[in-house]
């Protein structure tokens, strides 16, 4: 491999994306210098990640775990810090490349810090872009930073994209349809947590797995695509493709469609962002189309998956609506994972919040945080009533 040596930071190092990222990085110790790895509460996972990657810093968000983490890393020379501010500080330290793989809006400030430092950010954390898309994209320009999409669909579009919007007719995001693709709405009402987090093609963190089951994940991805590629909402489309081999497509005005394909393994899009603008070898499975036999496609069903309709409306409305939708969804998914509400209740809650909670458009990051916090409080307070309605 002929890549230049670069310093890297992995935010959310103990998660599914964080693990896949470190798996690639650790295979190339001569190319990647790990500056910082971070996690929420999992000190054992973080200490292992820091040791394996020979990181300079390990930062845990939960301050109560500082001493325990320090104990686990004693004698290694790895510096230890704790707290959300410590993560933001390390994220802004100016490493060449940062993986943004914290889940939820908690990842927003570290991303902004890395962008302000003018580095390259590989973005997995779609919730941050959904809530603060315009502000984040402005920061990329203002600070000469680079934002590369990790989400498999957006990474696929990025690989097929041409920046001249006049050449593009449509962007088509593929959706696996999730574990309940063939279930009736009635069946989904009784879906359990275990069933919801068992994705047919991709092993992922619990939050995004539930989002895939409700298909809110695809809704968030529409908004993510709008910001990343600067296209009008009407140019974005979804097709269900259960095999997850075509990761997305770009339709050009002349009738050509470019699609990016590969086995469903997040290390492929992550490697693309790690090596960009080069490419690097990975140990991932190769595509064998003859073995697969066929690829199938379906229209998305907005009746069984109301999240698609809800997110589309937020995509067109913009302003505070995506912030509120994301906040309500994060709260409702957490409530489902704790078995406080049922699976179909997740979208009932999100829809109720969007119908009743209003906020002016956010002008800056403080506004985004204020709307997010109020919308979370509102959702939590009205959770039971929304479910009972």
Q: Is residue 316 within 8 Å of 233, Cβ to Cβ?
A: yes
d(CA 301, CA 340): 26
The angle at the Cα of 92, spanning 88 to 95, to the nearest 5 degrees, equals 130
Q: Is residue 168 within 8 Å of 253, Cβ to Cβ?
A: yes
Contact pick of 58, 99, 108, 127 for ligand NAD (by CB under 6 A): 127
Residue with the CB atom nearest ligand NAD in the bound state: 15
> Phi/psi of residue 165, each to 5°?
-65, -20
Can residue 268 be called a binding residue for ligand NAD (CB under 6 A)? no
Please choose which of ligand NAD, Mg ion, none residue 39 contacts, taking the beta carbon within 5 to 8 angstroms, the exact cut-off set by kind. ligand NAD
> Min. distance of Cβ 82 from ligand NAD in angstroms?
11
Smaller CB separation from ligand NAD, 109 or 386: 109
The beta strands (E) that lie in the chain are given as 6-11, 32-39, 57-60, 79-82, 97-100, 120-123, 146-149, 168-175, 236-240, 246-252, 257-261
Contact pick of 112, 130, 231, 266 for ligand NAD (by CB under 6 A): 266
Residues annotated in the binding site for Mn(2+), as ranges?
Answer: 151, 153, 221
Can residue 16 be called a binding residue for ligand NAD (CB under 6 A)? yes
Number of residues binding to ligand NAD, judged by CB under 6 A: 26
Which residues is 32 bridged to in the sheet? 6
Q: Is residue 21 within 8 Å of 100, Cβ to Cβ?
A: no
Per-residue x/- track, 134-153, Mg ion (CB under 5 A): -----------------xxx
> Phi/psi of residue 149, each to 5°?
-75, 130
The single-letter DSSP state of residue 76 is S
User: Could you give the 3-state DSSP secondary structure of residue 294?
Assistant: coil
Residues annotated in the binding site, as ranges?
Answer: 14-17, 41, 125-127, 151-153, 176, 199, 205, 212, 217-218, 221
Stretch near ligand NAD under the rule CB under 6 A, chosen from 38-46, 336-344, 345-353, 374-382? 38-46
- Looking up tokens 């040791």 gives 51
Smaller CB separation from Mg ion, 220 or 275: 220
Please choose which of ligand NAD, Mg ion, none residue 178 contacts, taking the beta carbon within 5 to 8 angstroms, the exact cut-off set by kind. none
Contact pick of 102, 122, 156, 231 for ligand NAD (by CB under 6 A): 102
Q: Rg of the chain's alpha carbons, rounded to an integer?
A: 20
Can residue 300 be called a binding residue for ligand NAD (CB under 6 A)? no
> Min. distance of Cβ 315 from Mg ion in angstroms?
16
Q: Which residues bind ligand NAD (CB under 6 A)?
A: 12-18, 39-40, 42, 61, 101-103, 106, 124-127, 151, 202, 204-205, 207-208, 266
């Amino acid at each position: 491999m002929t890549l230049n040596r670069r310093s890297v930071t992995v935010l959310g190092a103990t998660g599914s994306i964080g693990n896949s990222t470190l798996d690639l990085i650790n295979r190339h110790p001569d190319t990647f210098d790990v500056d910082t790895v971070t996690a929420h509460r999992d000190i054992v996972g973080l200490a292992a990640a820091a040791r394996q990657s020979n990181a300079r810093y390990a930062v845990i968000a939960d301050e109560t775990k500082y001493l325990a983490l320090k104990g686990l890393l004693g004698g290694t020379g790895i510096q230890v810090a704790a707290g959300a501010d410590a993560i933001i500080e390390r994220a802004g330290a100016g490493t060449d490349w940062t993986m943004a793989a914290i889940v939820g809006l908690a990842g927003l400030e570290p991303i902004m810090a890395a962008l302000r430092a003018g580095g390259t950010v590989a973005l997995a954390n779609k919730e941050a872009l959904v809530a603060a898309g315009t502000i984040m994209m402005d920061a990329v320009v203002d600070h000469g930073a680079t934002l590369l999409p990790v989400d498999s669909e957006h990474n696929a579009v990025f690989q097929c994209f041409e920046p001249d919007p006049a050449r593009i007719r449509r962007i088509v995001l593929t959706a696996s349809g999730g574990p309940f693709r063939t279930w009736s709405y009635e069946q989904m009402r009784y879906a359990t947590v275990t069933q919801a987090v068992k994705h047919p093609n991709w092993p992922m963190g619990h939050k995004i797995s539930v989002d895939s089951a409700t298909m809110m994940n695809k809704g968030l991805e529409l908004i993510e695509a709008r910001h990343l590629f600067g296209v009008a909402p009407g140019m974005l489309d979804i097709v269900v493709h259960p095999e997850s081999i075509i990761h997305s497509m770009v339709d050009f005005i002349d009738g050509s469609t470019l699609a990016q394909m590969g086995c469903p393994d997040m290390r492929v899009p992550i490697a693309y962002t790690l090596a960009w603008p080069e490419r690097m070898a990975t140990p991932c499975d190769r595509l064998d189309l003859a073995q697969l036999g066929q690829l199938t496609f379906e229209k998305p069903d907005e009746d069984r998956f109301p999240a698609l309709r809800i997110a589309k409306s937020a995509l067109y409305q913009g302003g505070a609506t995506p912030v509120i939708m994301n906040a309500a969804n994060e709260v409702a998914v957490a409530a489902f994972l704790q078995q406080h509400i049922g699976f179909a209740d997740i979208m009932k809650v999100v829809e109720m919040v969007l119908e009743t909670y209003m906020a002016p458009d956010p002008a800056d990051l403080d506004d985004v945080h204020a709307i997010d916090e109020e919308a979370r409080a509102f959702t939590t307070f009205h959770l039971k009533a929304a479910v009972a309605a």
